[in-house]
A = this chain, B = another copy of it.
Amino acid sequence: MTATAPADVDALCRAAADAFTTTLRTTDAERAAWLRAGADALDSAAAELIPLADAETSLGSPRLTGELARTTSQLRLFADVILEGSYLEATIDHPNPTATPPIPDLRRALRPLGPVAVFAASNFPFAFSVAGGDTASALAIGCPVVVKLHSGHPRLSRRVHEILESALRDAGAPEGILGLVDGREGALALADHPAITAVGFTGSIPGGRAIHDRVSARPAPIPFFGELGSLNPVVVTPAADVARGSALAEGLAGSFQLGVGQFCTKPGVVFVPADSALEAAVGAHATTPGRMLTERIAQGFADGAARVRDVPGVTAVAGDGGSLIAAVDVDTLAAHADVLLEEVFGPFTLLVRCADEQDLLRGLDLLEGNLTATLHSEPDEDVDAVLSALERIAGRVLFSGWPTGVAVSWAQHHGGPWPATTSQHTSVGATAVRRFQRPIAYQDAPERVLPAALQEANPLAIPRRVDGELVLPRR
């Protein structure tokens, strides 16, 4: 594997900019066909790709088979999203000379930004990598993509790139539609390149912060859409613990150890009652973890776990040489929040023993932003205060489930206050396309120059807002 030289990054970004002049003029139907062709090609290559992914990531064939299926269904979802047409947000105001100021004929739609840089993640070698959600959502709306591959799975990245790029090209996409960059120097050149109009990033807080700061310092700043880190707090109420503490222990153990704990949505901190049935039962479900994604990640896990163990007041519930479950009270959590609330990527979770709801709310108040928050309670409990606290710190709030496993659908949201993500936008689900769009309003434009989405007769038959009212197409 060779690092990409800055001159080659420049060539890839220029090719993407050239491609954009073509993709801008493509129809939704054309791009939907590209995405479906890409999905079909990746599905057809499953027998080759899954062993290759397993060799580089040790995630195992069942998980990787599911992840590839998720990745190709994601490409197909974005085809559906663009064909449905609401993503264009077509809005028409007919003239109103009596308004203050007078309203001319105004027609607004969202348009693709331009070439997008995607920084791939380590832990989802398909779903958040070369052919992942950032790439799919950008391509769907006509933004060429240049991917910085993750060094944890370089061979898979190159092969997925070859297959996807070739399928896109065969389906009619222009040269330059999908570039691939390797190495740190190439990554920085990519973040700086003037042809790049937005950045999607999934990775660690330090790595994401570095790219965020670099992108913010550009002479012309561009949007940075990062997904950086998350503790994914879980709250178990006293009544839930009494009713099903031992089942919850098994569920928690399954979730925090899934994929060797290498999920952005791994439950990393669990607020439980003092003397909980959950705590009593969970240790029995700790397993000897499998091999982690990379040596560096394994070392990071060992170091992080050691830092937690060294904090005075921390009890190890389970975890000699394997998955670690530790427990603290809220006072200890507050006194050592810098260590105890730092994400430990891997099979670690921290139980926080709460004396009462006051204690719980004090604990939740110590948390930064999260992708998810989970509440296990019983139907007759008053959870208003807890739920408010969870809504304020998380982008997805779950009831009676576990946060690992992220459905790809219209209503999904994968994001949250910093450092979960840097923005109000989602990395997963239908609205992920909006990260790479910007509005253009046309004022008093002749019909012949308007995009099809904004022509009076609605030739695309899409939902539009006309004079303030949402109008569905006749189908």
Contacts and interface: CB of A to CB of B under 8 A. Distances in A.
A438 B424 contact: yes
A426 interface: yes
Interface in A58-82: 66, 69-70, 73, 80
Given A93-B410, A100-B73, A409-B93, A397 B440 contact: yes
A396 B443 contact: yes
A280 interface: no
A437 B449 contact: no
A423 interface: yes
Contacts of A107: 411
A104 B437 CA distance: 28
A321 interface: no
A472 interface: yes
Interface in A72-96: 73, 80, 84, 86, 89, 91-93, 96
Contacts of A442: 396-397, 399
Interface string A20-31: 010010000000
Given A423-B223, A438-B415, A438-B424, A445 B407 contact: no
Nearest to A428: B441
A463 interface: yes
Nearest to A102: B407
Contacts of A24: 388
A472 B81 CA distance: 18
Interface stretch (A141-149, A158-166, A214-222): A214-222
A448 B111 CA distance: 39
Contacts of A92: 411
Interface in A205-219: 212-213, 216-217
Contact of A443 (B70, B84, B102, B397): B397
A208 to B, nearest CB: 10
Given A222-B418, A369-B220, A431-B439, A91 B395 contact: no
A250 interface: no
Contacts of A417: 220, 438
Given A103-B409, A411-B107, A212 B221 contact: yes
Contacts of A397: 440-443, 445
Nearest to A218: B418
Contacts of A93: 407, 409-412
B418 A439 contact: no
Contact of A108 (B70, B398, B412): B412
A199 to B, nearest CB: 13
A418 B394 CA distance: 30
Interface in A457-471: 463, 465, 467-468, 470
A465 B391 contact: no
A322 interface: no
Contact of A470 (B113, B418, B445, B472): B472
A312 interface: no
Interface in A415-436: 415-419, 422-424, 426, 429-431, 434
Contacts of A439: 395, 413, 415, 424, 426, 431
8 contacts: A86-B470, A93-B410, A102-B405, A212-B216, A220-B419, A221-B418, A400-B444, A415-B438
Interface of A: 21, 24, 66, 69-70, 73, 80, 84, 86, 89, 91-93, 96, 99-104, 106-108, 111, 113, 212-213, 216-217, 220-223, 368-369, 379, 383, 387-388, 391, 394-401, 405-413, 415-419, 422-424, 426, 429-431, 434, 437-446, 449, 463, 465, 467-468, 470, 472
Given A400-B444, A424-B434, 13 more contacts: A69-B100, A80-B468, A93-B407, A93-B410, A101-B408, A383-B449, A387-B449, A394-B440, A395-B439, A399-B442, A399-B443, A399-B446, A413-B441
In the complex, the 5 A-B pairs of residues with the closest C-beta atoms, listed nearest first: A413-B441, A216-B216, A106-B411, A424-B438, A93-B411
